[in-house]
Amino acid sequence: MFWRFFSLLTLLAFGAALGYFWGGAKSALAAWASLLSGSLLAGLLWWVLDALRGFRVVSWLRQGDLNSAPQTIGLWGEVVDRTRRLLRDRERALVLSDQRLKDFLLAIQASPNGVVLLDIQSQIEWCNQTAAKQLGINIERDLMQRIGNLVRDPMFMAYMNDLETTDSVVMAGRDDREGHPVRISVQRHRYGEGKQLLITRDVTALEQAEAMRRDFVANVSHEIRTPLTVLSGFVETLQSLPLSAQEQRRYLGLMAMQAHRMQSLVEDLLTLSRLEGSPSPGYQASLSLSYLMSACQQEAQALSDLLDANDTRQSLTFSVDLNLSDAVLLGEPRELQSALSNLVSNAVRYTPSGGRISVTAQAQSDGRLELKVQDSGPGIAAEHLPRLTERFYRVDRSRSRESGGTGLGLAIVKHVLQRHDGQLLIQSVLGQGSCFTLTLPPARWRQSKD
């Protein structure tokens, strides 16, 4: 400001002096006129120069290019410098804000939940890949399209039309089909002036887990209720009726059978709980393959004698390859024995009198160890095979109860093999028998070093 005032005074003085010398000093009035005219011309020249500098600054501001800032001094120079600094600060703030927005959108893209932004007309302003996949939206084609024209599920449309509800809605996903259910949860949140934020989440696994929990509780309750009802009936009978010693022994024997059934069920439930809640076993402990086969053979023979009241016995065959005579399994011995024992017990229970049951141990060319339990029982229909390892799933419920099974044996086998990095393979033909194969990887067995 000082330089601006100083330059004006200097130019006025210079103009007055130039006018005085140019016009001469013939009289005092002429001298003053010369001074005044020179000052006016100098002031006009200063104003024109100042206006030109101002015009250059205004032109630069209209362009907005920091690199083409005019070089000037005085007040306009200070205006240029301060404006340039402000524009640079603003440019840096915009770059930083833009980068933050990009990082935010990338974070939303990486979210496992879907996000859809809707304007006041329920048109799609933006959505991430997860929401696009779950709702069947084409990100490039469907922007600024009404969400109701793209997602036609009746439950979703009713939810979007109900402006008062704040709860979420669960509907079928885009890939939902028979045998492969997909369930999507949609939650609406309002923001801004009439805009909406939709959060989508795949809840298929949660709903399946909840359904399994309900089925599990219902099955456990049902399995325990039956023996409890029988026990209660026998207890009431013993308490209210005069019975002979033989009748009392008979009722007590039936009561003991039902109590044993409940005990077996509780033990299997505890076994499943322990298998699911403990870490995978290491490789330090070992179980002799020969001992395992011998123990299971003795259990199978005892169970076969107990169940078969006829003279025609089942044919039980246990065989181990010669090169596996000194092999040992690496893992939890109790679990491995329980897995094979469950399969052998099932084969004995479901194979009729005179049937054949063979248990073999073989090493495969790729290093895997296979333990096969094959029977000549009634077999299992193909539609039941995928569900055999589910808890309490039975092909024939009445027959399973008669045979004393709890419906948890194959579930235990599956969990044991999963913990030992193995597999359970099931092959069966209705009317021709079944074959259950326990497969262990090379790391889970070796030849004994003893």
| Cα–Cα distance for residue pair 195/283, rounded to 1 Å | 59
Q: At 174, phi and psi to the nearest 5?
A: -60, -40
User: Counting beta carbons within 10 angstroms of the beta carbon of residue 200, is it exposed (0 to 12), middle (13 to 18) or buried (19 or more)?
Assistant: buried
Compute how many other C-beta atoms are within 10 angstroms of the C-beta atom of residue 402. 10
Question: What pLDDT is stored for residue 37 in this prediction?
Answer: 59
Question: What pLDDT is stored for residue 35 in this prediction?
Answer: 55
Mean pLDDT by runs of 10 across the 450 residues of the chain is: 55 56 53 57 63 71 67 66 78 86 83 90 90 88 90 89 82 80 90 89 84 74 77 83 83 82 80 78 90 91 73 80 88 91 89 89 91 91 86 64 65 90 92 92 84
| Cα–Cα distance for residue pair 291/314, rounded to 1 Å | 22
| Cα–Cα distance for residue pair 54/49, rounded to 1 Å | 9
- Strand pairing category for 315-320 and 356-363: parallel
DSSP-assigned beta bridge partners for residue 423: 439
| Cα–Cα distance for residue pair 448/431, rounded to 1 Å | 40
Question: What pLDDT is stored for residue 401 in this prediction?
Answer: 46
| Cα–Cα distance for residue pair 401/410, rounded to 1 Å | 15
For residue 283, give every residue at least 6 positions away whose Cβ sits within 8 Å of its Cβ, in sequence order, or none. Answer: 330, 331, 443, 444
| Cα–Cα distance for residue pair 92/100, rounded to 1 Å | 12
Report residue 222 as tokens: 């049902």
CA distances from 403 to 247, 344, 387, 390, 394 (A): 24, 14, 20, 19, 12
Q: At 316, phi and psi to the nearest 5?
A: -110, 125
Question: What pLDDT is stored for residue 14 in this prediction?
Answer: 56
